[in-house]
Amino acid sequence: MVLSRTIERAAIAGAAICALALPSHASASGVTTHAFMAERAIPFVSEPRLRDLLASHVNEVLAGAHYPDAGYGSSSYPGGDFGEVTHWERFVNAYAAHLRGRADCAPLDDPSGPCASQVAHLMGVAAHGMGDEMWDWLFEPQMADYGESPVHPFYRAGLPGSAELGSVPPGSLINTPEFAMDNIALAEYGRAPKIPTYLPPVDDLLPTYRSIGRTDITEDGIYAGHALITAALTGERMGLAAEYPRVKLTMPRSAAAYLEGAGGVIDTAQAIGGYYDNVWAKLTTDGHPAPRIVNVNPKPGADTVKLDWLPVRASPGPVGGGAADRIIAVLANSLDVSSITPDTFYLLDGDGRRVAPAPGFPKPGPYGGGDGTHSMMFYPAENLVPCTRYTAVVSDGVRDHAGASLTAPGSWSFTTRAAGTDPCPEPKDDDPIEDPVEEEPVKDPPPEEPPVKDPPAQDPPAQGPPASGGGGTGADSSNDLAGASVEPGPQSVDTQVAAGSDGHLHPITTGSTVAIRHAALSTKGRVRIRVSCLGPDPCPGRMAATATSGRLVFSLGGSRFRIPTYGTQTLYLKLSTSARRTLIRRRKLVVQVRAHVIDAAGPGVKTVRRYTLRTRIPRRAAGGR
């Protein structure tokens, strides 16, 4: 009996794979990115029991993140049209209620419990829907802003037959932004081996669908979708050698923003982590969890927000552009869209006056209310004022689908950039740096390395011509570093590993993590660095940096930070006179920035990032041979 059923399912899988040759309602591409986001969200979970369970069942999390799109590919197969309904919170809530109602699943919070695999699968499904909202509304519009298109050059060229080929697989699949960025995930972030082996738990999925009125979905239809999505994952990897160079060449800026950009993997993972916590509360507690804000855009503390917002560009997807024109709040529960009004989500200017919204704003989700959208957007009716601090406010009048309100109003602030090429005024060197939140004083971390002293005043002979005429070094001139550039390098985060129930080691961060973002160098030698707290808790800690040039090592000092969860703080370091002189003469310094999160238990996660400082070659020196 078991053997015959296995043969039957193999036949179904074969038929489903053959269906790849047929057009479907939506492409199966992008699932690699969905799984990447779902896994990267695990460290952002604030509930330790859930974090342990997910870390022990990553295979099931990945399978859940793939599952909603499986139903698009199998929509023409009898009993397989489950894609759209599975994307929304109505299904997520029903799935959670089903598992909670199973007495044999207790205890649900045990990583080795009888239903731990299904809980992890549920979380992966939830991650997919949240990922679509942020990716479509924040990341994909950047492609148009960059002048980049995911469409293969063959199809863009309009050659004979290209339109017909582009309407069926593989053309209809490879010309999507999701497929293009999946290639970046596979080639640059090690996602190629991550094909889950966990089968859909049909004994739990079928009663879940029935509970929301979808009696048409069948076991065979679910397995057909699973076969299709597995075939799509395999196909992406088979085409990687040809498609990755194409994507990297034609979409370099989108590829660079994929991991850390707005709506990218890490940004979306923060929101997913908060969503995981609320779904977990529905599983393990009797009450309904209150809605809370789990992500926003622009980021708190952002200080280069654009000025020109008109005409309104707020559509999702890779065509319309306007990625920077998005004031968005994301909640951990699906929204009652009737509660989103100009009185519940609004913007205050520098004087505390409300900014008039554009017609039709604020509005819910990239695709409207749907079956449970989590995001909402405010859009100003006029352009913003330069160098002005604005505050976005979400009042407790915003309700979720169950009628619950925010426990307290939420707000965050950001600053617009200057109107011209000159930056907004910087704080003076002797001005204190304001902390965004009040917390208990943190202890300095233990020394990471012996203190580094500046080199002697007599520098060794420097390479290249001097940066200024005469016999002086020019180190004290305010124009010495004019035109200097800062090239960001990769950053690494110290993690611990733990063995999961699948026998593999999985990275787990302990406590909160910070990301070292943008760095800039002023003409006075001040290095401005933006550091973000990725949660799940606030990030108190200390940043320190050193600069090197050959054998020369310079200490740039350190700075404390106290950053609220998902917040951003700007920190300042300063090049010493010797470091500035070396940068001017040798035209290059490598700066290593270290940020340590420190809590009551001592130093926690450390983030390290390198930047390369460069100065331009003076015109007279470059041509004076």
Kind and range of the H or E element at 594? strand 588-599
For the stretch 222-263, pLDDT in tens is 999 999 999 989 989 998 998 999 999 999 999 999 998 999
DSSP 22-58: S--SS-STTHHHHHHHHHHTGGG---HHHHHHHHH-H
As a whole number of angstroms, the distance between CA 175 and CA 156 comes to 10
pLDDT for position 493 = 63
Residue 200 makes CB contacts below 8 A (sequence gap 6+) with 63, 67, 70, 121, 222, 223, 225, 226
Most confident of 206-220, 433-447, 489-503: 206-220
Which of 315-319, 449-453, 486-490, 522-526 shows the lowest per-residue confidence on average (mean pLDDT)?
449-453
Per-residue pLDDT, 592: 86
Query: How many residues can be counted in the chain?
Result: 625
Distance, first Cα to last Cα, the chain: 87
Angle subtended by helix axes 265-284 and 48-56, to nearest 10: 110
Euclidean distance between CA atoms 506 and 57, whole angstroms: 10
| pTM exceeds cut of 0.75 | no
Is the separation of the CB atoms in 68 and 128 below 8 Å?
yes
pLDDT at 165: 55
Q: Which residue has the higher pLDDT, 516 or 149?
A: 149
State whether residue 332 is helix, strand or coil.
Answer: coil
Residue 126 has pLDDT above 80, yes or no: yes
Q: Give the confidence band of 616 by pLDDT, cuts at 50, 70, 90.
A: low
Mean pLDDT (whole number) for 520-532? 80
pLDDT band at 380; cut points 50, 70, 90: very high
The per-residue pLDDT for 452 is 39
pLDDT over threshold 90, residue 391:
yes
Q: Name the pairing type of β-strands 526-533 and 514-521.
A: antiparallel
Q: How many CA atoms lie within 13 A of 379 on its CB side?
A: 22
| 539 Cα distance to chain centroid | 18
Q: Which residues of 379-403 are buried (b: 16+ CB within 10 A; e: fewer)?
A: bbeeebeeebebbbbbbeebbbbee
Residue 122, pLDDT > 80, answer yes
**pLDDT higher than threshold 80 for residue 382:** yes
pLDDT tens per residue, range 68-100: 999 988 999 999 999 999 999 999 999 999 999
CA 423, chain centre distance (Å): 27
Kindly report the number of other CB atoms within 10 A of residue 114's CB atom: 13
